[in-house]
């Protein structure tokens, strides 16, 4: 999302952005917020929740404008050319939609973002042609420091660092060797109870 121009994904509507990542890291949340803040409208199609009638619309890709019109009516979202975002959430649950991206982005009418986890495993890509019109990025969970930043908390992490540098770790973490923070590993002290 950071690699955008004028608040929009790069690609001029001719490529889709695919956000891959583990489950529950915030892919759907961040994409929906992006759609809400940067577009006149957005349509979220969650393939983990939509029923068979929506999925059957992807059986005929010969008339893309009509497909988008049907999706717009079914999802009750008005789409505006070059001012609307279409989000395919949990796209690994319906690989046919991912394959359709090639045709959906061809006319450049709308921007598309796909989200999914375990996208590249064989089960989720068999029997489809992976579109070359995708640009893929990976999203990772936040660490504690990033979590504090997201909450606007600029004092907790520096305070913890200061406490550790002045007096060592609190008693709850006394089992951890001082070399732990510098080595990046889990180096346990021999003095640790239960070791």
Three-state SS string over 82-146 comes to CCEEEEEECHHHCHHHHHHHHHHCCCCCCEEEEEECCCCCHHHHCCCCCCCCEEEEEECCCCHHH
- Strand 111-116 to strand 16-21: parallel, antiparallel, or no bridges (unpaired)? parallel
Whole-number pLDDT of residue 88: 96
Write down all domains in the chain, each with its CATH number in brackets.
4-139 (3.40.50.300)
pLDDT in tens, the chain (195 residues): 334 545 555 556 678 898 998 888 889 999 999 999 999 999 999 999 999 999 999 999 999 999 999 999 999 999 999 999 999 999 988 989 988 998 999 888 999 999 988 765 545 556 666 666 888 888 888 888 988 998 999 999 898 888 878 776 666 555 555 554 554 444 444 555 544
- Residue 15 near residue 59, CB atoms below 8 Å: no
* Tokens of residue 92, six digits: 């690994």
Q: How many CB atoms lie within 10 A of CB 29?
A: 11
Longest dimension (CA), the chain: 70
Distance CA 129, CA 25 (A): 27
Closest CA to 63 of 23, 14, 107: 107
- Residue 193 near residue 176, CB atoms below 8 Å: no
């Amino acid at each position: 999302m950071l690699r955008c121009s004028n608040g929009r994904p790069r690609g001029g509507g001719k490529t889709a952005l695919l956000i891959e990542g583990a489950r529950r890291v915030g892919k759907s949340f961040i994409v929906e917020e992006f759609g809400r803040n940067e577009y006149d409208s957005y349509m979220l199609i969650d393939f983990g929740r939509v029923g068979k009638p929506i999925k059957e619309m992807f059986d005929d890709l010969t008339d893309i404008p009509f497909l988008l019109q049907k999706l717009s009516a079914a999802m009750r979202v008005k789409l505006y050319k070059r001012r609307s975002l279409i989000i395919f959430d949990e796209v690994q649950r319906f690989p046919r939609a991912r394959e359709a991206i090639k045709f959906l982005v061809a006319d450049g009418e709308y921007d598309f973002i796909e989200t999914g986890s375990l996208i590249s495993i064989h089960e989720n890509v068999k029997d489809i042609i992976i579109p070359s019109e995708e640009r893929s990025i990976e999203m990772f969970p936040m660490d504690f420091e990033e979590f504090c930043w997201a909450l606007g908390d600029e004092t907790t992490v520096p305070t913890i660092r200061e406490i550790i540098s002045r007096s060592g770790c609190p008693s709850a973490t006394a089992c951890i060797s001082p070399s732990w923070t510098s080595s990046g590993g889990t180096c346990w002290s021999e003095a640790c109870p239960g070791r």
